[in-house]
Chain A
Amino acid sequence: MFTAFLIKYAEIGVKGKNRYIFEDALVQQIKYAVKRCDGEFKVYRTEGRIYVEALSEFDFDEVVDNLKTVFGISGICPVVYVEDEGFEKLGEDVLKYIGEVYPEKDKTFKVCARRARKNYPLTSMEINSEMGGIILDNCPKMRVDVHKPDIMLHIEIREKIYIYSNIIPGPGGMPVGTGGKAMLLLSGGIDSPVAGYMIAKRGVKIDAVYFHAPPYTSERAKQKVVDLARLVSRYTGPIYLHVINFTDIQLYIYEKCPHDELTIIMRRYMMRIAEKIAQDTGCLGLITGESIGQVASQTMQSLAATNEVCTMPVYRPLIGFDKMEIVELSEKINTYETSILPYEDCCTIFVAKHPVTKPNLNIIKKHEENLEEKIAELVETALKNDELIIVR
């Protein structure tokens, strides 16, 4: 019965002169999302509202699921619209709407009318009371509750008349693309896809980099990262995934540096490489899934040591989250099942039994000097062989 969706957006509404930029971006993102659905749709902005109107048959659940992935949407209202053929006819239409959406007809309700077209013969207040009367007369089990109604029945008088009562929560946030671009360090674990999701939610476009270490990590591990990127791209739009072959760098560090500092030094090089790609591709920051104290390389001291190599801001949206909270989010965005597939990532293969948890930056730097002979060349080779996968 529903033929359109009214899209509510919260935060964008309070923007000032820039508001249209956000609204246009949101329309773009919605178009991108409904493109994935069967059927034809018109997405348009009018009078401070965004509508998604179906021009053909469509699958309601599919459209709602896809709209739920569009950042910037705070609510999705399935709408019935009717032609204005007089108030009496509108009464019939509203009763039909109630009959179909609430077949039990036993809810408390409140009518909430709004006139965008001010030449309509009744005022909003008059519509509220008249329509309330019609409903009460025809549905003996329905009662009015103006404070906490079960149903908030919206009637909007525009060129056509829109009826809706249900608001499906959207993901919130801001439309992707309104906040610049950042480079996500994607590992294949649980955390990094969630970190990407969280930053994208603030309107940031995401590129990603994955460090591949064949033969120590397998093709399947790489495929898993591509799969994760694809799941995240449902929310973020297409992701440019850079696959960097890290094996030679890793083995060189292994040869030249103390093994308990391996992970820290490795991560410092990952950050350096990620930042280089980020700079070359117009990213304004790096994103990691780190959370304080989760593992040895994520203590305050370790974070300080890895952070030190970057001049770009490093965004760590999960920094104060517990593992369980991150798991919950990953389940919500549907990446958990893929994240827990048992393919080793390059951070764990040579990990020492007791890696340093409180690295001393001066000592780390001293040990990195052991790498001077070949490391610049190895990094350059890795960057040169960057494999770009466009994930959508």
Chain B
Amino acid sequence: MEVYLDNSATTRCFDDVAALMTQAMCRDYGNPSSLHLKGVQAETYIRYAKETIAKALKVNEKEIYFTSGGTESDNIALIGSALANHRAGRRLITTEIEHPGIMQAMKHLEEQGFHVTYLPVDQNGVISLEDLRRALTKDTILVSIMHTNNEIGALQPIEEAGALIKKVNPNALFHVDAVQGFGKFRIYPKKMNIDMLSASGHKIHGPKGVGFLYIQENIKIKPIIFGGGQQSGIRSGTENVPGIAGLGKAVEMIYTDLEAEVNKLYGLKQLFTDGVTKLDNVTVNGLTGRDSAPHVVSVSVRGIRSEVLLHALEDRGIYVSAGSACSARKPQPSATLKAIGLEKELLESTLRFSFSVFTTAEEIDYTLQAMYDIIPMLRKYTRH
């Protein structure tokens, strides 16, 4: 049995998405900037994807820009808006548990002379609005907060934060990294005072290498990539038509019956957390149930190194992640797990299980059974 529980790293592409992309590559392969019919046909895919995404967010189509994925969206949002607004101030705010796409862009801006405040999180990985209020000053130009954490599934009070930011400093921009949250929640930037929002295709059963950035119409932003002036000059370069078409299709499919799918995910998550905590010295990090993301569970297994358990599960066809996939290649403990104050011994004994619409209860049972078998066995052999 193959059980793929690493859906926060990436998801399986929907078949209909792949089919539409093949069509965009092999039949309607024109350059959307071309004047002839082939170009117009290609442009139709982009227009359709834009409409679909704009509808899901309840924003204007003109406010959607396509990128190569979450990291690029984050970079354009942060660096582009900081460069455009540096005269108004040089203070930025973010959290301690952001994705590297935010963290490293912030580090880059610090080197350019910007000042960044990193908001701490509590043991559940949630920021405090009071901290945010204190950090906001009149020369704060940008706040960036992750919607859903990729490692422990913590949710941030985005709507409250948006309202607070606009109350304290209406000129400060609010960016939300919604790579893990988009496709799991209905997120309405206008209602939540979000000025910019990043999302990615391959986390919602779309293709890799494509994502989008919502930028509210009146926001000034400087491009960080220069070229032929496509997408109003914000993101030059021939549009990734097949990718964009696939992204649009995935958004359409995932939002068609969102509530039912999300309810199912919460059910699976409950099944899994109930089962896994029956094991001795196994704990679930962060909040559970409706206070957390429907698809991510972070589990610490005392006494077993995560990599070993990961490979032992792999042996049974179960694919999970140690920390987040983006950092699994580097041997440093996760910043998110540190930020929630996880004890040192558990930092390297934590696995992430993440579900998708393809996950079944049967798969969860199989995984739990595998863990009941493997964990006591692995605990017999430990390093001294």
Contacts and interface: CB of A to CB of B under 8 A. Distances in A.
B307 A353 contact: no
B315 A214 contact: yes
A293 B216 CA distance: 64
A259 B384 contact: yes
A350 interface: yes
Interface string B294-337: 00000000000001111111110000000000000111000000
A351 B315 contact: no
State which size class the interface on B falls in: 10 to 19
A342 B312 contact: no
B312 A215 contact: yes
B307 A344 contact: yes
B142 to A, nearest CB: 34
Given A342-B330, A342-B331, A344-B307, A215 B384 contact: no
A349 interface: yes
Contacts of B383: 349-352
Contacts of B311: 214-219
Interface residues of A, number: 16
Contacts of A217: 311
A254 B383 CA distance: 10
A217 B309 CA distance: 11
A342 to B, nearest CB: 4
Contacts of B307: 218, 344
A140 B311 CA distance: 72
Nearest to B378: A215
Given A342-B330, A342-B331, A216 B308 contact: yes
Interface string A291-332: 000000000000000000000000000000000000000000
A251 interface: yes
Contacts of A218: 307, 310-311
A177 B211 CA distance: 54
Nearest to B311: A215
Contacts of A219: 311, 314
Contacts of B313: 215
Contacts of A259: 384
Contacts of B331: 342
Contacts of B315: 214-215
A276 B383 CA distance: 29
Looking at B314, B330, B383, which has the most chain A CB atoms within 10 Å of its CB? Answer: B383
B6 to A, nearest CB: 14
A351 B331 CA distance: 18
A218 B315 CA distance: 10
Contacts of B314: 215, 219
A259 B384 CA distance: 8
Interface in A218-247: 218-219
Interface in B210-245: none
A320 to B, nearest CB: 31
Nearest to A216: B308
Nearest to A250: B381
A189 to B, nearest CB: 15
Given A342-B330, A342-B331, A215 B308 contact: yes
A98 B329 CA distance: 52
A349 B378 CA distance: 12
Contacts of B384: 259, 352-353
Interface in B358-384: 381, 383-384
Contacts of A350: 381, 383
A383 to B, nearest CB: 21
Contacts of B309: 215
A254 B308 CA distance: 16
Interface in B38-74: none
9 contacts: A214-B311, A215-B308, A215-B313, A215-B314, A217-B311, A342-B330, A344-B307, A352-B383, A352-B384
The 4 residue pairs across chains A and B that have the minimum distance between CB atoms = A215-B311, A215-B312, A342-B331, A259-B384
Given A215-B308, A349-B308, A350-B383, 11 more contacts: A214-B311, A215-B309, A215-B312, A216-B308, A218-B310, A219-B314, A251-B381, A259-B384, A342-B329, A351-B383, A352-B384
